[in-house]
Amino acid sequence: MNIGLFLFVLLFVYNAASDDYDSKVDEEDKARRRILDQLTKTHTVLADGYHLVTRQTATDVYMYRGYRSVGVIFYPIMRDVVDARFTFQAEELHFNSIGSCKAEHVIIKLKHGSYPAVNPDGYAFPKDFIDPAKRDTIYTVEFLSDGQSNIFSVENPKPGNWYAIAYIQWEDPKTESIDQQGLVALCQTILYSDLQVKKQEDVELIDCYSELSLNYNEIGHPSIFKCMSLDIVDPVSLNITVKNDDSTSLQKVAVKIEALSIPTQTNYLVSCAFDPSSEKAQVITFYPHPNSWHYITIETIPENYTKIADCESYRRVGEEEENVYALDDLMRDSKGRFFTFDYGIPTTDLHEATSLVNLTSNAVSSVRFKLNQFLDIGGTFTIEASLLMSLKYYMGYKREKKGNLLAYTDENQFFRVVICMDIGHASLPLPDGQCKYNDVVKPALFILNSTDSDTIYEKTMIPYPESGDWYLSMRIFCDEVVCPCNTSDNGTKYYATEGLVSGGNSSEGANATRMGETECNATVVLSLSSSSCVSGRCSNHGNCMLNTLGGLVVSFCHCSSGYGGWDCSDDSRMDSQTDMILSVLLLTLSNILFFFSIYVAIIRLYYTEAAMYILTMIFSTFYHACDAPPQIHYCIIKGNLLQYGDFNCGLMCFWLTLLAMSLISDRTRANLQLFGAIFIALLTFWSLHSIFTFFAPVSVGIAVVLLSWFIDYRRTREFSLPRSYYRRHFPIGLGLVSFGLICYAFLQTEQNYKIVHSGWHMLIALSVGFLLPDVRRGNEGNAFLPNAQNKIALPICIYPFRRGAGSTQ
């Protein structure tokens, strides 16, 4: 066969592939531009009274595989907005002409102040993570990528930055099919979104600390006012006076107050009503958000409306007026890395990372620190608090007794500290372990108890913390219980109860009682720090990485070895050690059947082909041993080199086998082997997984085989290979290869990979023994047994090609 003809065919295939690749890129660009043009022309429809704030026309959406695969969208919302209208629409881009694209289930998570911290894959959050119920609401929008518009509205949203993450609904990767490039539809989900807002125009500016006077007849439905609070945590007393020049009976006046946004039926600081006929002036006292805008709505309601509190209950804040607040601003100590910084009491000590807060029973101590938008919200913020106990406690002298009482501190005080955490305001810690802010009562962040060694220290971690001013309010409560202190668990836990000492005498216990303290003090050690991922790492089973999307940065853990979860510490879905070993043994030992190919190639005098089968077996075995989970993997060299060798040698096996099947001279075959080796090496380097990388050399090899068979038959008018080859060996080999290719291309999933891919190894190895024609040593004897007339050696000479007669074996 003329070598020039081969080069012409090779050049033609290369040019066709290049043109196909260029046309594919052009086609993808055209499809994307067409969809984007359609989106920008048809989807930006303004509703009446709304104006467009922002629009995102091309966000790629992928199936959820951790935060490395989510799309992040940013929405700024200004003040005085009564309705934020989000529009979402997803469509499928089809980049090739194979199959069709199905509509995917797209999920949007929307949140104010920071990225939504969610776990769609079902893994539990680490035990120290904050309860999601203690954080701001995360809104969920679900729809299909079928091109339909989906509108989601938030009434009276908080002003500031809102963030959305977009992803396709999670599916177990073990059931996901392994698709070969070029054999399945190439689809990409893109998302269009915009934000339109409606503002409240008639908002009157007033002073929170001055009298608000209005005429009853001028009260709107409702009348809306706003004022700015001072940068203090003290309560505000709002004096409202309603004037009436008419002597007719008046309806009740309802008042709602909310910080940052206009109050709604469910979101407010204060909601009450009063009768302006009996009391024209009404004083409403509430705790504000320091240095923030507050909105007041005033409207009339029916007199018999009873589902609202009386404003008289807000005239005084009761016992809260007796509390003295002390507020300290903490200092930021940045570390020069993404999301890595601390907060503490201002100090010149570069090694100081904690804060000592002295507490007394007659005051509430609050500390404040600020988390910046964009810069600080992509990591994990950690809050640690501990009671500073006496030196004896830390030295292990926790069982020291004074009579039947156990001593814990130098003063033998028994107390507990309640710590509240809030964003934008400070709450009041209560004796029962709750935190109160106006009418809202919620559980405290920490309760530190000096009589229980398990609760002297507490820790919580907040993934993707919200931007804004954070407040930690602390209050100490003295022990007011008459107390001997019982012990349990061999003295490792201590409790303050009204009972007697365990195992003690009743009279002895009665004489050992201690009256409760009315005043006490303590020191709390605070540590406030931020880091990427979880404490800057991802256990020992993942890498801490950053996802940058449109200028927004998110840290996340990329897990390996079957581990999952926020910090890659969850092994609940990981295969057992036995399954992993079995998987590796299947993938590696299945290559043993290549000994059959090597044996057949040697006895039929195909030494070059035998050498390539040996290399393929070696690279495939060690590549799968290296690609195993880290617990059991073994790599003799870098994994990417082994992978390259596996793919390259595998393609060379196909190439050399096809050339061995062709009826060409040894010189032509040697030239084609050389040129094919170079061409396959380039293709493998260009793309390991592209179907073209496999199709190009195989299609050229098949063309060489068929063309050589056709030319030889036209010249001799007979079949030059043994008749048994055409009748038995070739059909069997072709069937094995075909079934192996079907398994490799269409049947592989993550779950059955070890079985199907091992079967692929065995089918290909067996097929070689049937596809290699036995013509170099003559046509006598069994094709699978050595021929006694031909010694198996590695000759330097070239065996002449014998056009054997079409005899049977």
pLDDT digits (tens, 9 = 90+) for 751-789: 888 899 999 999 999 999 899 998 887 656 688 888 765
* pLDDT level of residue 491 (50, 70, 90 thresholds): very low
pLDDT of residue 515: 52
Q: Is residue 241 part of a domain?
A: yes
Report the candidate in 290, 292, 46 with the shortest Cα–Cα distance to residue 159. 292
- Which residue type, as a one-letter code, is found at position 771? L
Tell me, yes or no, whether 481 and 358 share the same domain. Answer: yes
pLDDT of residue 785: 83
CATH number of the domain encompassing residue 141: 2.60.120
Question: How many angstroms separate the CA atoms of 605 and 446, rounded?
Answer: 80
- Mean pLDDT score, 435-464: 87
* pLDDT level of residue 803 (50, 70, 90 thresholds): very low
pLDDT of residue 731: 93
pLDDT digits over 184-219, tens only? 778 889 999 999 999 998 899 999 898 888 888 888
CA torsion sign for 693, 699, 700, 705 is positive
Q: Which of 333-337, 674-678, 703-707, 795-799 has the lowest average pLDDT?
A: 795-799
pLDDT digits over 340-395, tens only? 999 988 876 666 657 888 888 888 999 999 999 888 999 999 999 988 876 555 55
pLDDT of residue 367: 93
Question: For the chain, what is the domain count?
Answer: 4
Q: What percent of the chain has pLDDT over 70?
A: 80
pLDDT at 790 over 70: no
pLDDT of residue 647: 92
CB 273 within 8 A of CB 297: no
DSSP single-letter state for residue 289: -
CATH number of the domain encompassing residue 634: 1.20.1070
Q: Is residue 160 part of a domain?
A: yes
CB 197 within 8 A of CB 78: yes
Place of tokens 């003559």: 778
Most confident of 152-166, 335-349, 534-548, 621-635: 152-166
Q: Which of 82-86, 120-124, 243-247 has the lowest average pLDDT?
A: 243-247
pLDDT of residue 495: 47
Tell me, yes or no, whether 434 and 509 share the same domain. Answer: yes
Task: Give the chain's count of helices (H) and strands (E).
Answer: 12, 37
pLDDT digits over 148-193, tens only? 899 999 999 999 999 999 999 998 887 777 777 767 778 889 999 9
pLDDT of residue 310: 85
Q: What percent of the chain has pLDDT over 90?
A: 41
pLDDT of residue 317: 54
pLDDT digits over 64-91, tens only? 998 989 999 999 999 999 999 999 999 9
- Which residue type, as a one-letter code, is found at position 567? D
Tell me, yes or no, whether 216 and 149 share the same domain. Answer: no
pLDDT of residue 498: 42
Q: 396 or 102: whose pLDDT is higher? A: 102
Tell me, yes or no, whether 692 and 753 share the same domain. Answer: yes
Tell me, yes or no, whether 296 and 171 share the same domain. Answer: no
* pLDDT level of residue 722 (50, 70, 90 thresholds): confident
Q: End-to-end alpha-carbon separation of the chain, Å?
A: 28
Report the candidate in 18, 19, 55 with the shortest Cα–Cα distance to residue 40. 55
Q: 539 or 292: whose pLDDT is higher? A: 292
pLDDT of residue 31: 60
Of 290, 322, 354, the residue that ends a domain is 322
SS3 label, residue 516: coil
Report the candidate in 159, 78, 152, 66 with the shortest Cα–Cα distance to residue 108. 152
Tell me, yes or no, whether 135 and 215 share the same domain. Answer: no
CB 382 within 8 A of CB 356: no
Tell me, yes or no, whether 481 and 597 share the same domain. Answer: no
Domain residues for the domain of 621 are 577-771
pLDDT of residue 40: 52
Q: Is residue 788 part of a domain?
A: no
Report the candidate in 163, 168, 165 with the shortest Cα–Cα distance to residue 188. 168
Of 322, 339, 364, the residue that ends a domain is 322
Q: Which of 28-32, 36-40, 335-339, 562-566 has the lowest average pLDDT?
A: 36-40
Q: Is residue 593 part of a domain?
A: yes
pLDDT of residue 413: 62
Q: 809 or 399: whose pLDDT is higher? A: 399
Question: How many angstroms separate the CA atoms of 72 and 586, rounded?
Answer: 41
Q: Are strands 428-429 and 434-437 parallel, antiparallel or unpaired?
A: antiparallel
Residues 6+ apart with CB under 8 A from 766: 593, 596, 597, 736
β-sheet bridge partners, residue 60: 190
Helix boundaries (H) for 743-780: 753-771
Of 164, 199, 234, the residue that ends a domain is 199
pLDDT of residue 34: 62
Torsions phi, psi for 345 (to 5 deg): -65, 135
pLDDT of residue 56: 87
Q: Is residue 635 part of a domain?
A: yes
pLDDT of residue 308: 85
Tell me, yes or no, whether 488 and 417 share the same domain. Answer: yes
* pLDDT level of residue 452 (50, 70, 90 thresholds): low
- Mean pLDDT score, 57-67: 89
pLDDT at 673 over 50: yes
β-sheet bridge partners, residue 358: 523
β-sheet bridge partners, residue 237: 285
670: left (phi over 0), alpha (psi -120 to 50) or beta: alpha
Q: Is residue 42 part of a domain?
A: no
Most confident of 94-98, 358-362, 511-515: 358-362
Q: Is residue 756 part of a domain?
A: yes
Question: How many angstroms separate the CA atoms of 700 and 11, rounded?
Answer: 11
pLDDT of residue 551: 80
- Mean pLDDT score, 595-603: 93
Report the candidate in 70, 42, 103, 124 with the shortest Cα–Cα distance to residue 568. 124
For the chain, how big is the Rg over CA atoms in Å? 39
Question: How many angstroms separate the CA atoms of 709 and 704, rounded?
Answer: 8
189: left (phi over 0), alpha (psi -120 to 50) or beta: beta
Tell me, yes or no, whether 505 and 424 share the same domain. Answer: yes
Please give the torsion angle defined by the CA atoms of residues 89, 95, 96 and 98, in that order, rounded to the nearest 10 degrees: -30
Half-sphere exposure at residue 362, Cβ-oriented, CA atoms within 13 angstroms = 3
Tell me, yes or no, whether 259 and 350 share the same domain. Answer: no
Residues 6+ apart with CB under 8 A from 199: 78, 80, 81, 82
Tell me, yes or no, whether 159 and 233 share the same domain. Answer: no
* pLDDT level of residue 734 (50, 70, 90 thresholds): very high
Tell me, yes or no, whether 113 and 150 share the same domain. Answer: yes
Q: Are strands 212-215 and 236-243 parallel, antiparallel or unpaired?
A: parallel
Half-sphere exposure at residue 557, Cβ-oriented, CA atoms within 13 angstroms = 27
pLDDT at 593 over 60: yes
pLDDT of residue 633: 86
Place of tokens 């091309």: 58
Report the candidate in 38, 71, 56, 73 with the shortest Cα–Cα distance to residue 192. 56
pLDDT of residue 348: 65
Q: Is residue 624 part of a domain?
A: yes
pLDDT at 747 over 90: no
